[in-house]
A and B are shown apart, each in its own frame.
Chain A
Amino acid sequence: MAEAERRFCCPACELVFQAIHEAGLGTYYRRREQAPGRPAEEPPPGQFAWLDRLEIGERYLAQRPDGTLEASLVLEGLHCAACAWLVERAVGDLEGVEEARVNYATSRLQVRWTREACGLGQVARQVSRVGYRAVPYDPAGQEAARSRDDRDLLLRMGVAGAAAGNTMLLAVALYAGASSDLEEPYRTAFHAVSLALSLPVLFYSATPFFRGAWTGLRHGAFTMDVPIALGILVTFLYSLWATLAGQGEVYFDTMANFVFVLLVGRMLERSARGRVSNAVERLLALRPRSAVRVRAGERQEVSVEELIPGDLVEVVPGCAVPVDGRVREGTAWVDESALTGESAPASRGPGDLVAAGVVNRDGVLLVEALRTGNDTALAQIARRIEEAQVRQAPVQRLADRAARWFVGIVLWLAAGTFVLWLPSGAERAMVVAVAVLIITCPCALALATPLAVSVATGRAASRGILFRGGDVLEAARGLTHVILDKTGTATEGVFELRSVLGDPAGLRVAAALEQRSVHPLARALVGAGLESPPEALDFRAVPGRGVSGRVEGASWALGNLDFLEGAQVEPALRAQAEVAEGQGHTVIWLAREGRVVSAFALADRLRPEAPEVVGWLRSRGLEVLLVSGDRPAPVQAAARALGVEEFHAGVLPQAKEELVRRLQSGGARVAMVGDGVNDAAALAAAEVGIAMARGSDISMEAADVVLLRPGLAPVVETLEIARLALATIQDNLRLSVIYNALAIPAAVSGWVAPLVAAVAMPISSLLVVGNSLRLARRRIEGTPESTEEPVALVPAGGR
């Protein structure tokens, strides 16, 4: 194809690129800037047989009346509309499939097929063949409830909108008739019709506000719903009286508009939050749910839930161990960083214990299950998180605080106005007092938060930052400390060569030997051996120990000291190695024909942007701590490199959470950034918990913010967006106050005709809307990496 090698965000886009070039339209690409994307993830080695088993199928399949089966699957890896199209075509082309349809907003695939000709496993396999992942989705549950609520809200909004439009039309006639008298019976007729139109609004569209206000009042709290409900009731009742008594003005249009605008605000907020929840739920739905059980020598794919203690499970490289157990056979390098923060891979062999969630990097293990399902250490951590989440204090929303004194002030003002106008007669006084209540309608106040939240979370989502709720934005207020996890967060979790001890020529040989190896340390050595390494013959890899082979005529062995089986080591070299280990490095030895020639010091690579991020955080007055479960030496080295003064090493998961609570009890507000299971409890306890999407599921579930982009730069953006959102909410509240400050004198002086109220209310709302939309355009300061381009091509409703 073209000159340079190109990377694509997904297989679909690659296909489209080829097609465009073949059609001779390649200039398109020269005009357009290519957004960097994520390469599609490798699908796990064909683990789809379990989906074909009947019992599993029952849970996810629905039978249609015409005999076809239907199922919903969650798709991962969709980056753009082209991806969705590709999946639809690929699955639709399968034998037996009647219909395949992708919901672009939720990345869900709906498939219908004839029972005999196809199966769930085949569908999943086909999806993975084109480069994506599909996992069956259990339709019942949270998702269904949420969509029911969404529909409900939409209907209420529709009714309010229809009523608002029609009452406005009638109101115009009434305004026109206000100056030159409108004769009866038309005036009464218009009033009556407006009344009739407002009834569905009062009894159907506005009920959520009444319910919310009632709940709040029952608990003695003046939430935002109270002034809203008050405003709606007063407006309606007064207008009702005016209609029946035949005098005064009616404000039905004001009421209907008020309700309509508020419902729109709520819908915006919900849809923003819904999109984010979807994205996070999708990430979580992709947990590995199958395992390979070995019984009487037979391998069988089962779902993780079916495993019981005593079962033998086979764990291949790339997969996580599904149970807490003991290794029966096999040796391998395992990665425990998600569980413990330990950065260096550990070697596990027969008799060693492994925990659920530990990832096997190299070598096949046969594990005997000791604890499964809810008994694993992993599950225990999950429970702790639930408890931590329950204990978290609810965020005091700014708007609720404003609502409290707002109601009080308005009531006092109305009472005062009534008293003021009493000399002119009780009826006149009542009319003016009610006008005061109506015009101080808390429209702008009520919209202040939802709009800002909606815009902020939407913008953040397009940049790969998922806020799991509007209150997270407010929780970020007044942060004092930021805790960084080390392995996987501040570091990349990838090892690199730091130094070569002994004979430097040994590096070439090491690179030659590690060409065929897959364990994490191998990559570092191969990467560092720059020129093309010689070939290694008689290559033998002992998983969990090392590799050996013949290079340039001599036999070499590379691995840890035990593997080299008592090869001779010079004392000087050994001393150097000890120094390296003292600095937190992992040392790998190379021996030639039984004599150690070189040693390589490897360490986990710090993220390049990390020191800058730490600098930024500190410049904002935040205290930064580095906390890790890893050994002291690497943690100290990382802290020094980052410029962090306080660091804690060897910290167990519970201790991380306790550290957060200890800081909080001292009055601190803590933000925590982590990715592993060992961070999860602390993430839940912190005011703002930030998790990386490539991290473990549990930490994503426990976190308040999930970062889809790799690296630490998004942390800066997250805090900036939260700060801007908060500032916008405060601005909106101030605008609302200004509006009221202008409107109240007008009302008190008896000046409020319905026209004035009708004009003033939209103005206040528009001001708030306009100010909130500014949030979408403001520059987000951050590390140099942040640009205004959206990072991932997402359909508006995507991840």
Chain B
Amino acid sequence: MDILFFLIPLALAMSGISVLLFTWAVRSGQFEDLEGPAWRILFDEEEEPTEEKERP
């Protein structure tokens, strides 16, 4: 069962990484609007005329 001394720190490290990712997500404002993205997937994107695509 000595393998535990490797596995547990590994699990903790992964846990730590996920906390860091969570922190990044919160700080970059990804939790500000929780309803918008849910609705956006339902909206159709219109075909944009090619001239508009050249906007800087």
Contact = CB atoms under 8 A, between A and B. Distances in A.
Contact of B35 (A85, A105, A154, A159): A105
Contact of A104 (B1, B23, B36): B36
A151 B32 CA distance: 9
Interface string B1-15: 100110010011001
A84 B39 contact: yes
A186 B4 contact: yes
Contacts of B27: 151
Contact of A797 (B1, B23, B35, B43): B35
A105 B34 contact: yes
Interface string A758-799: 000000000000000000000000000000000000011100
Given A158-B22, A158-B23, A162-B18, A104 B31 contact: no
B51 interface: no
Contacts of B18: 162
B55 A189 contact: no
A173 to B, nearest CB: 9
Interface of B is mostly: helix
A189 B11 contact: no
B34 to A, nearest CB: 6
Given A158-B23, A189-B8, A193-B12, A85 B43 contact: yes
Contacts of A300: none
Nearest to B9: A193
Interface in A64-84: 81, 84
A106 B12 CA distance: 37
A147 interface: yes
B43 A155 contact: no
Contact of B11 (A85, A114, A159, A166): A166
A169 B14 CA distance: 14
A166 B5 contact: no
B23 A155 contact: yes
Contact of A151 (B12, B26, B34, B56): B26
Nearest to A154: B26
B15 A103 contact: no
B54 interface: no
A106 B39 CA distance: 14
A410 to B, nearest CB: 33
A98 interface: yes
Contacts of B12: 166, 193, 197
A702 interface: no
Contacts of B8: 189, 193
A159 B15 contact: no
B5 A106 contact: no
A103 B36 contact: yes
A186 B8 CA distance: 11
A189 B4 contact: yes
A102 interface: yes
B47 interface: no
A85 B31 contact: no
B5 A189 contact: yes
A102 B19 contact: no
Nearest to A89: B46
A757 to B, nearest CB: 23
A85 B39 contact: yes
Contact of B36 (A102, A114, A151, A166): A102
Nearest to A170: B8
B23 A796 contact: no
A197 B11 CA distance: 12
A796 B35 contact: yes
Contact of A159 (B19, B36, B43): B19
A169 B43 CA distance: 42
A85 B1 CA distance: 57
Given A159-B19, A162-B19, A186-B4, A797 B34 contact: yes
B31 A151 contact: yes
B19 A147 contact: no
A193 B10 CA distance: 12
B39 A795 contact: yes
A196 B50 CA distance: 58
B25 to A, nearest CB: 9
A104 B26 contact: no
B26 A158 contact: yes
A452 B46 CA distance: 44
Contacts of A105: 32-36
Contacts of B5: 189
A154 B39 contact: no
A72 to B, nearest CB: 12
Given A85-B39, A162-B15, A189-B4, A106 B33 contact: yes
B4 A166 contact: no
B33 to A, nearest CB: 5
A158 B19 contact: yes
Nearest to B8: A193
A789 to B, nearest CB: 20
Interface string A99-139: 00011111000000010000000000000000000000000
A106 B55 CA distance: 29
Contacts of B11: 166, 169
A103 B31 CA distance: 11
A114 B56 CA distance: 10
A326 B34 CA distance: 50
B32 A147 contact: yes
A103 B32 contact: yes
Contact of A98 (B19, B31, B55): B55
Given A106-B33, A155-B23, A158-B23, A186 B39 contact: no
Contacts of B56: 114
A103 B35 CA distance: 8
9 contacts: A84-B39, A103-B32, A114-B56, A151-B27, A151-B31, A154-B31, A155-B26, A796-B35, A797-B33
Can you list the 3 inter-chain pairs with the closest CB atoms, starting with the nearest?
A104-B36, A81-B39, A104-B35
Given A103-B33, A104-B35, 16 more contacts: A81-B42, A85-B39, A104-B33, A104-B36, A105-B33, A105-B36, A106-B32, A114-B56, A147-B32, A154-B31, A155-B26, A158-B19, A158-B22, A159-B19, A169-B11, A193-B8
